């Protein structure tokens, strides 16, 4: 088993040092660019350098979050210099979401570790293996999976480090799959600017208008996560890094939570699982440090349930009397001194990790007057007061009647300590940095794209089949047999948004398919492991090809096509290689994908693919659709996303296919949109639509 690691967040340098002193084995933090907490204080490079030195001095590690999606101009003009500064200062790993950033680091900083962020929603060993084969040293699992699912990942990838969240705030959406803040308010979670709309009240109604809020209005707001009771199971499942959430939390929270989990990890290590026991007093401590309507550990044992949701206003309560757990940690050193007549004076310091530093002084002569005593040597060599060290054991090999100036002893002590400091602060890995080469893109060639349609139910299928323009069609697995009997064109299977281990057996790809749309890294890994032809795989918009580096990385697998993400503007798409891309120009934008079932928590679980409506403070009606085949909810935007009126702009982007995604529409609505496409995109009739709709980020973009 790898050595267990307690991983703490730090929002500033003071907290960083304090959590190291409180017992964290590693600390993660954000710099001033590309982190998922853009509104946090974050670290300057000077503060980061000091933090990294402090961590290494104490035998700990420091990780930088680079876990947002990057646009082309950012990745080509800013990323290299930004990352290089951290690599030169000894950063131990980068935490990454963007596939382009992942490949960028592997190319230019090949021996700097890359940890795959929870933003990649990894739920199975297939996704883990996909990244391990590309050089990832660690994955951060999706927060929704149980310790049995974690154990399955570890079994499939025994050499890959597994990091899992153990404490702190939960997103209700699978991390990386949330567009709600982005679409409703222009603040993208994928860009580190989430406005947390999940923490707001919503009223829920069924198809008949019946009000469903029996327990309260905060139906998308999860309680905070606390897994202190499940640490042995997580350790035995293969988790080696235990991650606390909270880079925006205060000093008292960070140090307090670290100290409690440090105690219980040590308890497991020294006493074993059979003697593992958490006191009510320590649970209360964790509650006092901060909680949202109590704690939940639901995902550890069950897929979902109302016990996880606050239902009331989710204020982050904490004890008034809480105080930071702080104590300045000194590093214990052993010291050996050699003071032998006729030989050079020698001082050697060593720590428990095996670092050794030695310094020599003058050749020792016989005393002509007052000899140097053993006590003189001990006093001079023990003066470590202004250093981060304290003396543990001291052994002195000493001849009587020698003379040694005190200044020589002190100088040798200082030189040895300085050498040891340099060893510890530099870390143990040689840095490899390769010269940067900008990825040049020549531009897109205008073209008239083909048409690709996805449908979700039989009514939509009937409408699509009756429309002659539809030659390429994707359906969910449950609709494939029916579609295969009635559709004459190229038929694809649209794989589920999230793939969990228990549903793998459901995925049997018929040889009749023209291909599949893969929506997750787990599905990519599964398809590759089953030798599915990569040229028949379309990468869904959820596999964010935000920049040309990500497209280039995926192209090495010879995947057939990709689908443009929702958050790029037309201006930004001019810098993106769209030659092998689909672009969705009609849909209800899927704003959240949740394991916790809002339908179950309000209407009840009937396993009938039920649908409810939730209404926000602005009286917008958001549709919540169950997918009971794979047990997740999708929350769709109240307005339809339609880009037909931007036809001329879109034609200039060199896109291969326009895509129409049908999700909750009936037969008439589907037919109307297909007719509007024919008239305004294929034909030249100006687009008109009776309802209010949105053009998403095509004009405004996201920060």
Residue with tokens 């010879």: 558
* Alpha-carbon torsion, ordered 308, 225, 33, 174, to 10 deg: -40
Residues forming a β-bridge with 113: 93
Distance separating alpha carbons of residues 652 and 299, to the nearest angstrom: 46
Those residues whose C-beta lies under 8 Å from the C-beta of residue 401, and which sit 6 or more positions away, are 341, 366, 367, 371
Residues forming a β-bridge with 241: 5, 163
Those residues whose C-beta lies under 8 Å from the C-beta of residue 386, and which sit 6 or more positions away, are none
Distance separating alpha carbons of residues 177 and 183, to the nearest angstrom: 12
- Domain 5-170+224-283, CATH class in plain words: alpha beta
**Of 459, 498, 454, 460, nearest in space to 634 by CA:** 498
**What CATH topology corresponds to 450-590+639-694?**
TIM Barrel (3.20.20)
- Residue 326 has a pLDDT of 59
Name residues of the chain where pLDDT drops below 50.
1
Domain ranges of the chain: 5-170+224-283, 331-426, 450-590+639-694
Residue 613: other Cβ atoms inside 10 A: 17
**Of 552, 449, 563, nearest in space to 495 by CA:** 563
Q: For residue 502, give the DSSP letter.
A: G
CB < 8 Å & 24+ apart, contacts of 321-324? 321/288, 322/252, 322/253, 322/256, 322/288, 322/289, 323/252, 324/18, 324/251, 324/252, 324/255, 324/256
Q: For residue 237, give the DSSP letter.
A: H
Q: Answer whether 5-170+224-283 and 450-590+639-694 agree in fold.
A: yes
- Residue 247 has a pLDDT of 84
CB < 8 Å & 24+ apart, contacts of 366-369? 366/341, 366/401, 366/402, 366/403, 367/401, 367/402, 367/403, 368/403, 369/403
Residue with tokens 């799959």: 177
User: Where would I find the H helices in 374-470?
Assistant: 374-381, 406-426, 458-465
- Domain 331-426, CATH class in plain words: alpha beta
- Residue 244 has a pLDDT of 97
CB 490 within 8 A of CB 473: yes
Distance separating alpha carbons of residues 379 and 406, to the nearest angstrom: 9
Residue 644: other Cβ atoms inside 10 A: 22
Those residues whose C-beta lies under 8 Å from the C-beta of residue 47, and which sit 6 or more positions away, are 12, 13
Q: Are strands 331-339 and 657-661 parallel, antiparallel or unpaired?
A: unpaired
Distance separating alpha carbons of residues 547 and 485, to the nearest angstrom: 39
Those residues whose C-beta lies under 8 Å from the C-beta of residue 72, and which sit 6 or more positions away, are 441, 547, 548, 572, 575, 576
Those residues whose C-beta lies under 8 Å from the C-beta of residue 269, and which sit 6 or more positions away, are 4
Distance separating alpha carbons of residues 483 and 478, to the nearest angstrom: 10
**Of 462, 446, 389, 394, nearest in space to 423 by CA:** 389
> Does residue 118 sit in helix, strand or coil?
helix
Strands (E) across 2-92 are located at 5-9, 26-30, 61-66
- Residue 38 has a pLDDT of 58
- Residue 23 has a pLDDT of 95
Length of the chain: 703
Those residues whose C-beta lies under 8 Å from the C-beta of residue 46, and which sit 6 or more positions away, are none
Q: What is the pLDDT of residues 302-314, one digit of tens each?
A: 999 999 999 998 7
Residues forming a β-bridge with 243: 7, 165
Dihedral sign (CA 495, 501, 506, 509): positive
The token duo for 469 is 């323009």
The token duo for 246 is 């909270």
């Amino acid at each position: 088993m790898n050595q267990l690691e307690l991983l703490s967040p730090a929002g500033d340098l003071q907290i960083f040092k304090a959590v190291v002193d409180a017992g964290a084995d590693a600390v993660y933090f954000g710099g001033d660019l590309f982190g998922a907490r853009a509104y946090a204080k974050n670290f300057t490079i000077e503060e980061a350098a000091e933090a990294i030195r402090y961590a290494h001095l104490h035998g700990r590690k420091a990780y930088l979050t680079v876990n947002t999606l990057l646009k082309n101009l950012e990745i080509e003009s800013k990323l290299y210099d930004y990352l290089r500064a951290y690599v030169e200062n000894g950063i131990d790993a980068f935490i990454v979401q963007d596939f382009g950033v992942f490949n960028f680091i592997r190319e230019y900083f090949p021996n700097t570790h890359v940890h795959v962020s929870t933003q990649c929603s990894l739920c199975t060993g297939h996704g883990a293996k996909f990244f391990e084969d590309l050089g990832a040293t660690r994955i951060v699992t999706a927060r929704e999976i149980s310790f049995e699912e974690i154990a399955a990942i570890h079994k499939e990838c025994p050499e890959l480090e597994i990091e899992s969240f153990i404490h702190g705030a939960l997103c209700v959406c699978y991390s990386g799959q949330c567009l709600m803040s982005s679409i409703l308010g222009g603040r993208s979670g994928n860009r580190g600017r989430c406005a947390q709309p999940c923490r707001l009240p919503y009223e829920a109604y069924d198809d008949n208008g019946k009000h469903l809020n029996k327990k309260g209005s905060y139906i998308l707001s999860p309680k905070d996560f606390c897994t202190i009771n499940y640490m042995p199971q997580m350790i035995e499942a293969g988790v080696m890094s235990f991650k606390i959430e909270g880079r925006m939390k205060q000093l008292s929270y960070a140090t307090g939570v670290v100290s409690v989990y440090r105690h219980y990890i040590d308890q497991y290590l020294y006493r074993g699982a059979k003697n593992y026991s958490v006191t009510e007093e320590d649970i209360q401590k964790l509650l006092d440090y901060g909680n949202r309507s109590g704690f939940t550990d639901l995902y550890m044992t069950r897929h979902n349930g109302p016990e996880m949701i606050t239902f009331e206003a989710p204020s982050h309560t904490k004890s008034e009397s809480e105080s930071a757990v702080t104590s300045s940690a000194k590093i214990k050193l052993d010291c050996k001194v050699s003071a032998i007549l006729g030989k050079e004076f020698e001082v050697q310091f060593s720590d428990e990790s095996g670092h050794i530093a030695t310094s020599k002084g003058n050749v020792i002569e016989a005393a002509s007057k007052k000899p140097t005593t053993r006590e003189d040597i001990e006093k001079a060599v023990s003066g470590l007061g202004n250093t981060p060290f304290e003396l543990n054991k001291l052994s002195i090999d000493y001849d009587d009647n020698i003379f040694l100036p005190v200044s020589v002893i002190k100088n040798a002590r200082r030189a040895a300590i300085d050498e040891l400091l340099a060893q510890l602060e530099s870390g143990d890995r040689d840095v490899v940095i390769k010269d940067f080469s900008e990825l040049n893109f020549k531009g897109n060639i205008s073209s008239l794209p083909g048409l690709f349609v996805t449908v979700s139910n039989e009514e939509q299928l009937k409408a699509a089949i009756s429309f002659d323009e539809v030659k390429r069609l994707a359906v969910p697995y449950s609709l494939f047999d029916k579609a295969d009997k009635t559709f004459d064109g190229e038929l694809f299977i649209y794989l589920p948004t999230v793939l969990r281990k228990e549903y793998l057996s459901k995925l049997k790809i018929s040889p009749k398919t023209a291909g599949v749309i893969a929506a997750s890294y787990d599905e990519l890994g599964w398809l590759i492991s089953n030798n599915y032809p990569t040229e028949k795989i379309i990468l869904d918009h959820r596999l964010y090809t935000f920049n040309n580096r990500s497209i280039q990385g995926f192209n090495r697998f010879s995947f057939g096509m990709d689908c443009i993400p929702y958050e790029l503007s037309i201006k930004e798409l001019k810098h993106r290689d769209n030659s092998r891309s689909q672009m969705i120009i009609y849909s209800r934008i899927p704003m959240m994908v949740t394991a916790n079932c809002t339908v179950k928590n309000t209407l009840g679980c009937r396993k009938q693919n039920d649908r409810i409506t939730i209404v926000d403070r602005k009286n917008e009606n958001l549709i919540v659709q169950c997918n009971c085949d794979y047990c997740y909810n999708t929350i769709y935007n109240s307005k339809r996303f339609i880009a037909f009126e931007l036809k001329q702009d879109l034609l200039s982007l060199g896109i291969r296919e326009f895509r129409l995604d049908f999700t909750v529409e009936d037969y008439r609505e589907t037919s109307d949109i297909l007719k509007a496409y024919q008239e305004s995109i294929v034909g030249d009739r100006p687009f008109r639509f009776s309802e209010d709709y949105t053009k998403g980020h095509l004009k405004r973009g996201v920060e």
